[in-house]
Amino acid sequence: MQARNWSYALAGGALIGALAWIDPLFIPLVLLGPLVTGVVAGLRAVALRYLAAAWAVGGVSMVVSDQIANHEDKVFHVVLTVLMVGLAAGAWAAGRFAARRRTQTAVV
């Protein structure tokens, strides 16, 4: 099961990196994507490492592909990668908190 989760995380990261090349999707993808996926993953008790790996792979693929195509914006994409992973982790924590609160109120 763990190998399958890593495969999903890597495939998701590759998809994120590919979708980042579509200009109208770029800003919503990198700002809203980590928040939405983080909350959903937190609510569903997905391990943070898989979520973080997906966004990190997506960011690294942006760095590499931009280096190949344009030879610019390396620092921007590295900072963006850290930001995306941070946003996803924060949203994941909020999702986990909400899931725990929902479980505790259901028991009481």
Domain that includes residue 95, residue range: 2-107
Query: pLDDT tens, 75-101?
Result: 999 999 999 999 999 999 999 999 998
For 58, residues 6+ apart whose C-beta sits below 8 A from its C-beta are: 12, 13, 14, 15, 16, 17, 20, 81, 84
Burial of 99 (C-beta count, 10 Å sphere; 0-12/13-18/19+): middle
33-82 tens-digit pLDDT: 999 999 999 999 999 999 999 999 999 999 999 999 888 888 999 999 99
Q: What is the pTM of this model?
A: 0.91
CA distance 91 to 24: 23
Question: How many domains is the chain partitioned into structurally?
Answer: 1
